[in-house]
Homo-oligomer: A and B are copies of this chain.
C-alpha cells in the first residue's frame, strides 16, 4: 500500500486548525507533519493541540528540514503567491486556500511554478467536496434540470473579517475573502464563465463596529451574466451575526434545484407556542462544511498517492480572482464591467 502523505501546514490560524483536524483525526492516509507560522503563540497553540513537534517560523526553515510531500497554505491572501511558488520550487505539492491570490499576475506565477516543477495544486474550494454540492453537480451534469438559466449563491458569515481581509489595499475585500466560493460554485454549476458583472455594495454595520476603512462594505450584491447567456446573483453579508449561511438555488430549462439550507441538525424543539419551533442553524463554516473539509483533504492526499491531478486547480482559482476584480471595479466605477476587461486589461 502507498505510504501516507505528510503535509506541512503553512499558517496556524483557524483554517489551519480545520485542516489539521482532518489530517489528524479523519484521514488515515494523511499525516500532519509540521506547522509553520511566524507568530509564536498561534504556532504553539495549534501545534500543541494536534501534538505536532515539527514547528517552524518560516517556510524556508520547514523546507530545510523537508520531511513532507506537500504543504497546505492558509495564510493571508497577499502571501499566497510567494509561499506557493517557493513550495513548488522545492518540489512540494500545494494545497492553497482561497482566494488564490490578490492579482491575476500572481495567479499566473503560481500556475507557472506548479507546472514547471511538476507538482500538484489544489484550491481550497471545499464546497465542491460537500456531499450535497457534489451530488447536485452530478445531477445537473446528467441533465436533471436541463440547461441552467439562472443561479443564486449566497454566503453570509457571522463575524467581522480581520482588518487585512476587509481592506481593499491588503485584500480584495469581502467579494474575495467571503464570496470566493460563490464565484467558483456559480461558474462550476452553471458550466460557464462569467462574462459581465454589476455590483452594488452597502455599509450598515461598519461604523458601529469601528471600521473606518475606505470603501468598506458589509453587504454586496452581484449581478452576473455568463458566457452561456445564463444569469447569476451572488450575495455576501459579513458580519450577518445570525449564523453561517451558504446556499445555492439554480433554475434550468426543466426545473429548479436548491442546494443546502440554513437548518443544521434535524432536532426540532418547541417549548413555547408564542415563540414557535426552534431548529439549530449552522453556526460556523467548519460546522456547515464538516464533510467538505475532510473530503477535500482526502482528495488532495489521494491525488498525490495515485499521481492524479486534483479536480480543482489553478485555472479555477484564477477565474474566481477575475470575477472578484471585475466586481470590485464595477462598484467603484458604478457600471457593469466585462470580465475580459480585467483578464485582458481591455477597456470596453
Contacts and interface: CB of A to CB of B under 8 A. Distances in A.
Given A150-B221, A221-B233, A265 B132 contact: yes
B267 A257 contact: yes
Interface string A255-273: 1111111111111111111
Interface in A307-347: 334-336
Contacts of A242: 251, 254-256, 270-273
Interface string A225-236: 100011111010
Contacts of A150: 202, 219, 221, 235, 237
Interface in A106-124: none
Interface in A252-298: 253-281, 283
A279 B281 contact: no
Contacts of A201: 231
A335 B336 CA distance: 7
A241 B273 contact: yes
A205 interface: yes
A131 interface: yes
Given A147-B204, A202-B229, A270 B262 contact: yes
Nearest to A265: B132
A303 interface: no
A93 interface: no
Interface string A211-249: 000000001111111000111110101001111110000
A276 B276 contact: no
13 contacts: A149-B204, A150-B235, A201-B231, A202-B231, A221-B232, A260-B266, A262-B268, A262-B277, A264-B276, A273-B281, A273-B283, A276-B280, A276-B281
A231 B242 CA distance: 18
Nearest to A217: B231
| Nearest 5 Cβ contacts at the A-B interface | A255-B271, A243-B273, A258-B268, A276-B280, A242-B255
A225 B245 contact: no
Contact of A278 (B202, B240, B244, B277): B277
**Contact-residue size bin, chain A (C-beta under 8 Å from the other chain):** 35 or more
Contacts of A232: 221
Nearest to A29: B25
Nearest to A280: B276
Instruction: Select the residue from A136, A253, A276 with max chain B CB neighbours within 10 A.
Output: A276
A61 to B, nearest CB: 24
A5 to B, nearest CB: 13
A341 to B, nearest CB: 14
A57 interface: no
A92 interface: no
Contacts of A139: 267, 269
A187 B24 CA distance: 35
Nearest to A150: B219
A27 interface: yes
A251 B146 CA distance: 31
A152 interface: yes
A247 to B, nearest CB: 9
Contacts of A258: 262, 266-269
Interface string A121-163: 0000000000110011001000011110110100010100000
